[in-house]
């Protein structure tokens, strides 16, 4: 699966977002090292700070499915990840992160997205 195909999965997933407050639908898709594709969407809450972004829905779903840090080759997102999600992508040692920027798809490492990051484990 190419990065562009993975991104198209993220775009398709976004239609299932639960975003009745912002009306802003985000989708995400992950390719695991064993070749499985997982999806995530943002899920909002009437109390805005309790919502969960698409990348975190995606990665927490990956954990439920038995995956953990180091198991995910790539994540594609329909928008540049927020700082909170960058910390998750970093925690899960995702190989590369794909998202649109200025009309193109860009590819970043988690270290590029979160310079000066620290490790606790």
Q: Which residues bind its own copies (CB under 8 A)?
A: 13, 16-18, 20-22, 39-41, 43-53, 56-61, 63-64, 66, 68, 79-80, 82-88, 90-91, 99, 101, 106, 108, 112-121
Residue 2 or 106 with smaller CB distance to its own copies: 106
Helices (runs of H) and strands (runs of E) counted in the chain: 4, 5
Query: Smallest distance from the beta carbon of 29 to its own copies, in angstroms?
Result: 11
Q: Which two tokens stand for residue 77?
A: 């997102």
C-alpha to C-alpha distance for 31 and 7, rounded to whole angstroms = 10
C-alpha to C-alpha distance for 21 and 16, rounded to whole angstroms = 14
Q: Which two tokens stand for residue 57?
A: 């829905």
Query: Smallest distance from the beta carbon of 34 to its own copies, in angstroms?
Result: 16
Residue appearing with tokens 């970043």: 108
Query: Smallest distance from the beta carbon of 35 to its own copies, in angstroms?
Result: 19
Residue 96: half-sphere exposure toward Cβ, Cα within 13 Å: 11
Whether 55 sits among the annotated catalytic residues: the reply is: yes
User: Which one of 8, 55, 91, 112 is the catalytic residue?
Assistant: 55
Instruction: Supply the residues annotated as catalytic.
Output: 55
């Amino acid at each position: 699966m190419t990065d562009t195909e993975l991104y198209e999965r993220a775009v398709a997933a976004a239609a299932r977002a639960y975003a009745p407050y912002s009306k802003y639908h985000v989708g995400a898709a992950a390719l695991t090292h064993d070749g499985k594709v997982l999806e995530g969407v943002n899920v909002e809450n009437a109390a805005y700070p309790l919502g969960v972004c698409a990348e975190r829905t995606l990665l927490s779903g990956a954990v439920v499915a038995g995956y953990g840090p180091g198991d995910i080759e790539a994540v594609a997102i329909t928008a540049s990840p927020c700082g909170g999600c960058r910390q998750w992508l970093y925690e899960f040692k995702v190989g590369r992160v794909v998202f649109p920027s200025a009309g193109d798809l860009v590819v970043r490492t988690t270290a590029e997205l979160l310079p000066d990051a620290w490790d606790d484990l």
